[in-house]
Structure 1
Amino acid sequence: MVQLALLFLSVILIQFFLILWRFKWNWLEFPAPKIHDWPKVSILVAARNEEENLPKLLESFEKLDYPKDKIQFLFANDQSEDETPEILKHWCKSQTNARFITTKKLSDSHPVNPKAEALAQLSEIANGEIYLFTDADCAVSENWVKGMVSGFGPNVGMVVGVTHVYWKGFLRFFQDLDWWNTQGFMKVASDLGVSTSGMGNNMAVKKRIYEDCGGFENLKFNLTEDLELSKAIAKAGYRVHSEIKPETLVLTKAEKSLKKLLAQRKRWMFGVLTLPWYWKVILAFQFFYFPATFFLIFQLGWLMVPFILAKIFLQAGFHKSIASRAGLKLSYFSLLSFDFYFFPTTALTILYYFWPSPIEWKSRIYP
Structure 2
Amino acid sequence: MTFFLTGYFLLWFLVLATSALLFWRRERPAPAPLAAPLPPVSILIAARNEEATIGRCLQAIRQLDYPPELVEVLLGDDASTDHTRAVAEQAMRGYAGRFRCLPITSQLGSARGKANVLAHLARAATSDYFFITDADIAVPVGWIPALLPFATPEVGTVTGLTVVHGPRLFDRLQGLDWLQSLGLVQVVSDLGRPVTAMGNNMLVTRAAYEATGGYENLPFSVTEDFALFKAVLARGFTFRNVYRPEALACSLPIGTPLRLLHQRRRWLRGVEALPGWLQSGLLFYAGFYPLLLVLAVVAGPLAALGVLGLKMLLQGLLAYGCYRRAGLRMPWQLLPAFEVYTVALTGALTVFRLLPVSFEWKGRLYK
TM over 0.5: yes
Per-residue Cα deviation, 1:19-67 (whole angstroms, up to 9, x for no partner): 1221222234353234525332111001000000011111111111001
Residue 231 of structure 1 aligns with which residue? Answer: 230
Moved more, 35-44 or 220-229: 35-44
Query: Do the aligned partners of residues 192 and 30 (structure 1) sit closer, same or farther apart at CA in structure 2, a change above 3 Å counting?
Result: farther
2:156 equivalent to 1:157: yes
Provide the C-alpha distance between the structure 1 equivalents of 2:154 and 2:27, rounded to a whole number of angstroms. Answer: 18
Amino acid aligned to 2:102: I
User: SS of the residue aligned with 1:240?
Assistant: strand
1:85 Cα shift?
1.4
Secondary structure in structure 2 of the residue aligned to 1:132: strand
The one-letter amino acid of 1:346's match is T
Answering whether residue 193 of structure 2 is matched by residue 167 of structure 1, we say: no
Aligned-partner SS, 2:19:
helix
Aligned residues with identical type, % of pairs? 31
2: CA distance between counterparts of 1:10 and 1:249?
Answer: 34
Give the C-alpha shift of residue 111 in structure 1. Answer: 6.2
Residue of structure 2 in register with 1:77 after alignment: 77
Greater shift after overlay, 95-104 or 194-203?
A: 95-104
Q: What SS class does the counterpart of residue 39 from structure 1 fall into?
A: coil
Listed as ranges, the matches of 1:1-12 within 5 Å are: 1-12=1-12
Q: Alignment partner of 1:36: what SS?
A: coil
Counterpart in 1 of 2:280?
A: 281
> Offset of 1:319 from its aligned partner?
1.3
Distance 2:121 2:144 in 1: 18
How far apart, CA to CA, are the structure 2 residues paired with 1:237 and 1:30? 25
After TM superposition, list the pairs within 5 Å mapping 1:236-275 onto structure 2: 236-275=235-274
Give the Å deviation of 1:113.
Answer: 2.5
Match of 2:33 in 1: 33
Output aligned runs, 1:314-329, within 5 Å: 314-329=314-329
Provide the residue aligned with 1:101 in structure 2.
102
Between 183-192 and 152-161, the greater mean CA deviation after superposition: 152-161
3-state SS, counterpart of residue 287 of structure 2:
helix
Query: How far apart are the structure 2 equivalents of 1:193 and 1:155?
Result: 14
Partners of 2:293 and 2:304 within 8 A in 1: no
What secondary structure sits across from 2:31 in the alignment? coil
**Distance in 2 between residues matched to 1:253 and 1:245, nearest whole Å:** 19
Provide the rounded CA distance (Å) in 1 between the counterparts of 2:39 and 2:294. Answer: 56
Which runs of 5 or more structure 2 residues have no equivalent in the other structure?
none
What residue ranges of structure 1 are gaps of 5+ in the alignment?
Answer: none
Provide the C-alpha distance between the structure 2 equivalents of 1:35 and 1:335, rounded to a whole number of angstroms: 43
- Cα deviation, 1:235-287, whole Å, max 9, x if unaligned, reads 22222221011111111111111111111111212221111112211221221
Matched with 2:147 is: 148
Paired AA for residue 279 in structure 1: L
Distance 1:208 1:111, change over 3 A: closer
Root-mean-square deviation (Å): 2.0
- TM-score scaled by structure 1? 0.94
Q: In 1, distance between residues paired with 2:289 and 2:136?
A: 33
> What is aligned with 1:187?
186
Q: Deviations over 1:195-243 (max 9, x none)?
A: 1211111111111111112222211011000000111112222222210
2:210 counterpart residue number:
211
**Contact kept? 2:165, 2:251, Cα under 8 Å:** yes
Larger mean CA deviation between 171-180 and 32-41 belongs to: 32-41
**Paired residues of 1:42 and 1:127 also in contact (CA < 8 A):** yes
Aligned residues: 365
- Quote the Cα distance in structure 1 between the aligned partners of 2:93 and 2:37: 29
Deviation at 1:159, TM superposition (A): 0.9
SS at match of 2:337: coil
- 2 CA distance for matches of 1:308 and 1:91? 48
CA distance in 2, matches of 1:298, 1:130: 56
Distance 1:275 1:161, change over 3 A: same
